Structure 1
Amino acid sequence: MFTITVETHFQASHQLVLPDGSKEPAHSHDWVVTAAVSSEKLDDMGVVMDFRALREIVANVTAELDNTALGDIEYFCRNNPSAENVAMYLYDKLRVGLPDGLRLQSIKVVEEPGCSAKFAE
């Protein structure tokens, strides 16, 4: 199994709903997203996928979140906009957009240095 990763960034604010129903203060992050994609075999060029093509796919999805308040996005009206849920949201969006034969292994989301969440199936 071969695996490649690409990294992209977006800026967004979020506000978590706390267990007592109150909300934490809204705050922004410069989110870092790492997508890992795998394949059983390499293509004719000897690669899993062109890095630039994968980065473009990931950037197109993260662009939907860039410069937003995550709570304004329908998905996050139903799901707390935690790093874990952001990772799952991006995973679900990205896995359907990959070329045949490729598998999305994981999405890692970093809110700030040292604080990250990863989603994989």
Structure 2
Amino acid sequence: MKNTFYEIKIITDFSAAHHLRDFRGKCENLHGHNWKIEIVLRGTELNEIGVLVDFGEVKQATRALLSEVDHHYLNEIPFFADRNPSSENIARYLFERLAEKFDNDKLRLYRVSAWESDDACATFMRE
């Protein structure tokens, strides 16, 4: 089968404060969100026990990364010094950091979505 793959997803969350510089709206004021984060990985081959990657490994790496932003003021994190801590950039930040761990010859981080509310999210992904 051509162009087939396996995909796994975990969902987690974190809470943090931020403000959007030069937004010209209420989000320019200091406020917070309880972000829901979706992490999606893809690969074409399962390992010797029949899994793409252990969910526990993905959850542990994600929890470690989220501990750096959970209950923090996102504008003070160096990644956001020259970019707004928007949901788009939060998804990108998490993607770039997790890709360091999960991109290899059998597994690729495919997509990270950051939900700032029940009906609004932004996604950073690889083609």
Aligned pair 1:11/2:49, yes or no? no
What is the one-letter code of the residue matched to 2:60? E
What are the superposed Cα offsets for residues 61-101 of structure 1, whole Å, 9 maximum, x if unpaired? 11110110100101111111100000001100000111632
Find 1:35's aligned residue among 15, 36, 39.
39
Deviation at 1:18, TM superposition (A): 2.2
Q: CA RMSD in A?
A: 1.6
Q: 2:103–2:109: 8 Å Cα contact kept in structure 1?
A: no
Q: Return closer, same or farther for 1:13/1:106 CA change in 2, 3 Å cut-off.
A: same
Aligned position for 2:64: 60
TM-score, normalised on structure 2? 0.88
Aligned position for 1:105: 110
**Segments ≥4 residues shifted beyond 4 Å:** none
Identity percentage over the alignment?
29
Q: Aligned with 1:85: secondary structure?
A: helix
Aligned position for 2:55: 51
What is the one-letter code of the residue matched to 1:115? A
| Distance across 2 between alignment mates of 1:74 and 1:99 | 23
Q: Aligned with 2:7: secondary structure?
A: strand
Aligned position for 2:123: 118
Instruction: Report matched runs for 1:15-26 at 5 Å.
Output: 15-19=19-23, 24-26=28-30
Unaligned runs of 5+ in 1: none
Unaligned runs of 5+ in 2: none
Q: 2:6–2:45: 8 Å Cα contact kept in structure 1?
A: yes
